[in-house]
Chain A
Amino acid sequence: MDFGPYLMLATLEGAVTAAVLALTASGLALVFGIMRVVNVAHGEFFMLGAVLAWWVTDLMGATPVLGFAIALVVVPLMVAALATFADMTILKRINYDPERTIVATIGILYILQQVTLMTYGPDARPVTAPFNTRLALPWFERTEDGISLYWPWGLSITSYKLAVIGAAGGVLLGLWAVMKRSRLGLMMRATEQDREMALAFGIPVERIYALVFGMGAGLAALAAVLVVPIQQAHYLMGGDPLLLSFIVVIIGGLGSLPGTVLAALLIGLSDGIISVFFSPTLAKILATLLVAMLLVFRPQGMFGERRL
């Protein structure tokens, strides 16, 4: 493939990765930013989202479009409810102590994985996309008559992948509006800035925490529902989103939502674009080292001002 179309393809693929990553990471960023805890089970909430999406669409059977629409609404709520429950029964009782939270969420990770394996099984199962048309894309070339369009071999994307990018953008805008414009967002930000002060002002911090933990998990689940028609639901799929989300949250600067989104774009796109120039594994090594170096030389993240 020529260089131009290849770069465009890699960019588009990177954008899909970035969109899903931005959603997942924004969930982690909420928890991280407001509650100051590391939720190691975040990837498992993502996995649960995908697995439950398969379950819901499978129950609906004959009507995949309706089934998927229902999954899109119901599944994030189910996962959010579960996470809220975990917060109230476990995390609250250990006082959100950072180190104990790590062990407790590793425990939750094991539990969710094993229960999924025992009920859903070890297979990777597909979910039918509600719509999925292959869209061939044009590219331009210089000919004697000036610039003309042509259809390069292999340059295409599917309508569903475009929809994922759009949907993720919409949800993130909504989240931003909630954080900035609503009373709830105000309470969250107050809790984030000073827990004691927030308590003094009568903000129900415990309920905010439970809500934030649920929202974070719900966002991960939503990202998973969106991605499951592209990838498949599998009980071990949570590892990668967890690692990538962590990286994105740190690079974005803790708790900064626009920063998180920008960092997701950077990670998603660089992953795609570096793979144009190098052999795949070497590209992964370089992308990983690049991110590490970025943090080494800008430890506060690219967009954050605060240090943690």
Chain B
Amino acid sequence: MRRDVQKNLLLHGGVLVALFALQFVLPAYHHGNVARIMVLATYAMGYNLLFGYVDLLSLGHAVFFAAGLYGMGIAVSHLGVSAPLGLMIGVLAGGVVGAIIGALALRTEGVAFMIVTLMFAQAGYLIILYFGEITRGDEGFVIQQVDRLFFGGDLSDPFIRYYAAFTVFCISFLSILALLHSPFGKTLIAIRENQERAVMLGYNVMRFKLLAVIFSAALSALAGATYGLLFGYVGASFASVQYSIFPLLWVLLGGAGTALGPLVGVFFMFYLIDISSGMTTAYMLVAGVVLVGLTLFAPQGLMGEIRRRFWRWLP
């Protein structure tokens, strides 16, 4: 057990150090990509918290990402607040939307939960379009460079952007690890393993699940708000169904219920599209074939497969 803990510390610490060090060696294009991947991985980790550890399959996480994106974007662009405050407003917006949707959707389970979250997300997408005066509908709007100063740091500068993305990733990654090792996280896993038993032991299962939804939504919103600040664009396409399916795909690819799975899944999918689109215009075909192949040959996702075959101690 002790050695496993050491191995874990070594591996996860190593990944963080590697991500930090990468910025010094990467060429400009990949430098920008890794910054992007870390933000999207935060989104995927938010999703994984719910899907991997509580076994709740949501098809509506785009609404949380978009709540962060628009919460930040509207605050910064229309209300003129500073970027750090905008970021907090974004995360708060995600938490509130998560609380409302969670409280309603948790009355259902299984496939009904999938559909209810999907419907709420769809309504959220339409609401963004409906209030086109503020949101500029599908077209979205630009966060101007002057509004993207974070305590004096210009987030449009590639190095500052990389640091920002890295910081957000680290905070999310470490807080999830801490959460999972806390009594709260252990209870969540206990609920996943055997809900009836958890109920009999006197746990208020609903409350735990709701807190998990809120936390997951807030992390997704953090990713959304960060994405908007780092790349200067707020748009409704991020609220569409596609962006609800992406985190599911990333997490399943990387390995649901593993700490590094979300990062690996985003990395894999991002470069799969990027590299194959350089070679052929039919890159979606390549992506499709690879997805089918993965389900056939790596059923538990990439990290899940590594855990099964080599590193049984992986969290």
Is B170 an interface position by the 8 A CB rule?
A: no
CB contact list, B244-283 vs A, under 8 A: 245, 248-249, 252-253, 256, 282
State how many angstroms separate the Cβ of B244 from the closest Cβ of chain A.
11
| CA A226 to CA B119, docked complex, whole Å | 27
Smallest Cβ-Cβ distance to B59: which chain A residue: A246
* Stretch of B143-151, B229-237, B284-292 on the interface side: B284-292
Check A262 for interface membership: any CB of B closer than 8 A: no
Please state if B241 and A296 are interface contacts (CB–CB under 8 Å): no
Within 8 A of A (CB), among B279-310: 282, 284-285, 287-296, 299
Complex interface residues of chain B between 98 and 122 (CB less than 8 A to chain A)? 104-105, 107-112, 114-116, 118-120, 122
Tell me whether B284 and A110 are in contact (CB under 8 A). Answer: yes
Q: Given the complex of chains A and B, what is the CA–CA distance between A114 and B249 in angstroms?
A: 18
CB-CB nearest 6 A-B residue pairs? A110-B288, A107-B291, A111-B288, A292-B119, A107-B292, A299-B108
- Nearest residue in B to A95 (C-beta to C-beta)? B299
Contacting residues, chain A, for B253 (C-beta < 8 A): 103
Does A110 contact B291, Cβ atoms closer than 8 Å? yes
Residues of chain B contacted by A110 (CB below 8 angstroms): 284-285, 287-288, 291
The reply to whether the CB of B123 lies closer than 8 angstroms to some CB of chain A is yes
In the complex, per-residue mask of A200-242: 1 if CB is within 8 Å of any chain B CB, else 0: 0000000000000000000000000000000000000001000
CA distance A109 to B241 in the complex (A): 14
Q: Judging by beta carbons under 8 Å apart, are B108 and A296 in contact?
A: yes
Which residues on the A side are within 8 Å of B115 (C-beta)?
246-247, 250, 295
Residues of A within 8 A of B205 (CB): none
B284 contacts A288, C-beta separation under 8 Å: no
* Selected interface stretch from B3-11, B66-74, B125-133: B125-133
> A103, A250, A297: which contacts B249 (Cβ < 8 A)?
A103
CA distance A296 to B107 in the complex (A): 6
In the complex the two chains form, is A254's CB within 8 Å of B282's CB? no
Beta-carbon contact of B299 and A97 below 8 Å: yes
Contacts of A60 in B (CB 8 A): none
Could you say which residues of chain B place their CB within 8 Å of the CB of A296?
104-105, 107-108, 116
Residues of A near B122 (CB, < 8 A) are 243, 288
30 residue pairs bridging A and B, Cβ less than 8 Å apart: A32-B111, A90-B295, A99-B252, A100-B252, A100-B295, A101-B295, A102-B248, A102-B252, A103-B252, A104-B296, A107-B288, A110-B285, A110-B288, A114-B282, A114-B284, A114-B288, A243-B122, A246-B118, A254-B111, A282-B130, A285-B123, A289-B119, A292-B104, A292-B116, A292-B123, A295-B108, A295-B115, A299-B109, A308-B110, A308-B111
Contacts of A113 in B (CB 8 A): 284
B105 to chain A: which residues have CB within 8 Å? 296
Q: How far is the CA of A236 from the CA of B298 in the complex (A)?
A: 29
Q: How far, in whole Å, are A245 and B241 apart by their CA atoms in the complex?
A: 15
**Chain A nearest CB, measured from B307 CB (Å):** 16
User: Which residues of A have CB within 8 Å of B296?
Assistant: 90, 93-94, 104
Contact partners of A108 in chain B: CB under 8 A = 288, 292
The total number of A-B Cβ pairs within 8 Å is: 119
Q: Which of A261-303 contact B (CB under 8 A)?
A: 281-282, 284-285, 288-289, 291-293, 295-297, 299-301
Least Cβ–Cβ distance between B215 and chain A, in angstroms: 21
B299 near A94: Cβ-Cβ < 8 Å: yes
How far apart are B38's CB and chain A's nearest CB, in angstroms? 23
- Residues B201-259 near A (CB distance < 8 A): 241, 245, 248-249, 252-253, 256
Contacts of B104 in A (CB 8 A): 292-293, 296
Q: Once the chains bind, are B292 and A111 in contact (CB under 8 Å)?
A: yes
**Residues of the B chain whose Cβ atoms lie less than 8 Å from the Cβ of A285:** 123, 126-127, 130
Interface string of A103-121 (1 = CB under 8 A from B): 1101111110111001000
Minimum CB–CB distance for B304 against chain A, Å: 11
Output the least CB separation between B110 and chain A (Å): 5
New A-B contacts (8) at CB < 8 Å, excluding given A103-B291, A295-B108, A307-B109: A99-B256, A104-B295, A106-B245, A110-B285, A285-B127, A295-B116, A296-B116, A299-B112
Instruction: List chain A residues, Cβ under 8 A from B292.
Output: 90, 104, 107-108, 111
A104 touches B116 (CB 8 A): no
Interface presence of A72 (CB below 8 A) = no
Instruction: Give A236 Cβ to nearest chain B Cβ, in Å.
Output: 11
B-side contacts of A32, CB under 8 Å: 111
How far, in whole Å, are A94 and B294 apart by their CA atoms in the complex? 10
Using Cβ atoms and an 8 Å threshold, which residues of chain B touch A94? Answer: 295-296, 299
Of all chain A residues, the one with the shortest Cβ separation from B256 is A99
Docked pose: A72 CA to B241 CA in angstroms: 31
Are the CB atoms of A115 and B111 closer together than 8 Å?
A: no
**Residues on the A chain within 8 Å of B107, using CB:** 296-297, 299
Task: With A94-B295, A285-B127 as known contacts, state yes or no: A38 contacts B111, CB within 8 Å.
Answer: yes
CA–CA, A100 to B290, complex, Å?
Answer: 13
The interface residues of chain B lying within 8 Å CB-to-CB of A300 are: 112
Give every chain A residue within 8 A of B245 (Cβ-Cβ): 106
Q: What chain A residues lie within 8 Å of B282 (beta carbons)?
A: 114, 118
Instruction: Say yes or no: A288 contacts B119, CB within 8 Å.
Output: yes
Q: Is the CB of B291 within 8 A of A307?
A: no
Complex interface: chain B residues within 8 A of A111 (CB): 284-285, 288-289, 292
| Cβ-closest chain A residue relative to B113 | A299
User: Are A107 and B119 in contact (CB-based, < 8 A)?
Assistant: no
Most buried by B among A100, A254, A291: A100
Bound-state CA distance A28–B266 (Å) is 30
Q: What separation, in Å, do the CA atoms of A122 and B249 have in the docked complex? A: 26
Are A243's CB and B123's CB within 8 A? no
A305 to B167, CA, bound (A): 49
Does B299 lie within 8 Å of A281, measured CB to CB?
A: no
- Residues on A with C-beta less than 8 A from B130 are 281-282, 285
